[in-house]
């Protein structure tokens, strides 16, 4: 049972290994939503995510014999680091099975805490099956990333901190993968104040909990496809499901493209690096009517590798028309390129790449293609640049940007 006494105990235990993640007020998102929006920045934890809470509390409840056997888990990264760190604290051996698609930063950091890493499967569910197999073979103690009430109790300590700092909170938004975090947070929030609304947020293409709630039973998705790797789960937890049914007020989904925009917003307005799963609750703010309410979005983690980060930033700029590409046809003669460049410069566009194709027509003298990739301040500025090119007779055509 998830009881207030257990949550209080867990809060005392996890304090040994967690950093104080004070709420961050967001003036930007408050203006966007008409609410008072705060972030719970669990991306700033020592292991880069909230998962250390549940992992460490679980480890504290194991017997000496169970720790001596060694522990094993499956994880897309954040739980892996939490278990590896907790095991190191208790001097226990840890084996972590991670999907082959796990970002390199999460793999390396897990190894850095002394754990043995086994890469297996394309998604969490396949890695989990392998972890159970290894646990049976070697006698390891399995620490489930979400379908474990003790782990969920540790995760729920986040709600204790939120309510202590913001007693009159109206809404708490929580990301959902398998459901452990949502179980702990929603259950404790309702124990502390039944009026608090707790909303779960899933990727649109990995909405296993939403489907399970709709069907009234734990449901397995045929596949998942999302950039939010930490929440790419096909089957939610069975032990925790009754708590989700009872305590979660609603579940909404967001598209991957919205996470890209949310990443850009967080970097530019708060200077915070938040991984895609942690951005679910940020993207969800625009889906809810929160006017006049006090809202906390839980930023569950910040473990994003730089290659993914670079890709997300580029895609975000393209989606918001701050980088775009136009194609224009020019006569193949000296001076034409400088004329086009002058038009763009006059409108304060910043050219970042040019592509000159002489073979777009068999009559080179009549036309060659120039593709211009440039920066703008947004959609309105982009249209001003295009209009200026049109006035000079260039007939610009917006084409796909390839960085």
Q: How far apart are the first and last CA of the chain?
A: 53
Q: Which residues contact 215 (CB under 8 A, 6 or more apart)?
A: none
Task: Dig out the tokens for 36 from the structure.
Answer: 């008072």
Question: Across the beta sheet with 197-203, what order do the strands follow?
Answer: 24-25, 36-41, 294-299, 171-175, 197-203, 250-254
Rounded distance, CA 283 to CA 301, Å? 15
Rounded distance, CA 387 to CA 389, Å? 5
Question: What does R_g of the chain's alpha carbons equal in angstroms?
Answer: 25
Rounded distance, CA 250 to CA 199, Å? 5
Rounded distance, CA 62 to CA 91, Å? 13
Rounded distance, CA 136 to CA 144, Å? 14
Catalytic residue set: 51, 300
Q: 356 by DSSP, 3-state: which?
A: strand
Name the burial class of residue 331, with classes exposed (0-12), middle (13-18) and buried (19+) by CB atoms within 10 angstroms of its CB. Answer: exposed
């Amino acid at each position: 049972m998830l009881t207030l006494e257990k949550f209080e105990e867990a809060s005392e235990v996890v304090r040994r290994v967690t950093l104080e993640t004070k709420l961050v007020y967001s003036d930007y998102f408050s203006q966007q939503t008409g609410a008072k929006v705060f972030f719970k920045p669990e991306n700033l934890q020592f292991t880069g995510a909230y998962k250390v809470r549940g992992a460490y509390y679980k480890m504290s409840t194991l017997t000496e014999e169970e720790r001596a056997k060694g522990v094993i888990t499956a994880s897309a990264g954040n739980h892996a680091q939490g278990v590896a760190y907790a095991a190191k604290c208790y001097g226990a051996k840890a084996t972590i099975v991670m999907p082959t698609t796990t970002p390199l930063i999460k793999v390396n950091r897990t190894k850095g805490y002394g754990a043995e890493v086994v890469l297996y499967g394309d998604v969490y569910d396949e890695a989990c099956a392998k972890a159970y197999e290894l646990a049976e073979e070697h006698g390891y103690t399995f620490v489930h990333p979400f379908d474990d009430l003790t782990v969920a109790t540790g995760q729920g300590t986040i709600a204790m901190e939120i309510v202590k700092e913001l007693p009159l909170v109206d809404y708490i938004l929580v990301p959902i993968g398998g459901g452990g975090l949502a179980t702990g947070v929603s259950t404790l929030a309702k124990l502390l104040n039944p009026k608090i609304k707790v909303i779960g947020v899933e990727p649109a293409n990995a909405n296993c909990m939403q489907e399970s709630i709709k069907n009234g039973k734990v449901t397995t998705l045929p596949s998942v496809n999302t950039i939010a790797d930490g929440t790419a789960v096909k089957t939610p937890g069975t032990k925790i499901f009754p708590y989700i049914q009872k305590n979660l007020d609603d579940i909404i989904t967001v598209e991957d493209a919205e996470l890209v925009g949310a990443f850009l917003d967080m970097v530019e307005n708060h200077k915070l690096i938040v991984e895609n799963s942690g951005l679910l609750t940020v993207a969800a703010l625009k889906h809810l009517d929160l006017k006049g309410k006090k809202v906390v979005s839980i930023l569950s983690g910040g473990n994003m590798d730089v290659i993914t980060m670079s890709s997300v930033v580029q895609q975000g700029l393209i989606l918001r028309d701050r980088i775009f590409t136009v194609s224009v046809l020019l006569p193949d003669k000296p001076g034409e390129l400088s004329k086009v460049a002058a038009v763009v410069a006059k409108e304060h566009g910043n050219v970042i790449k040019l592509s000159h194709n002489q073979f777009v027509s068999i009559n080179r003298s009549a036309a060659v293609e120039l593709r211009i990739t440039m920066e703008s301040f947004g959609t309105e500025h982009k249209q001003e640049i295009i209009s200026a090119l049109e006035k000079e007779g260039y007939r610009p055509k917006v084409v796909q940007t390839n960085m």
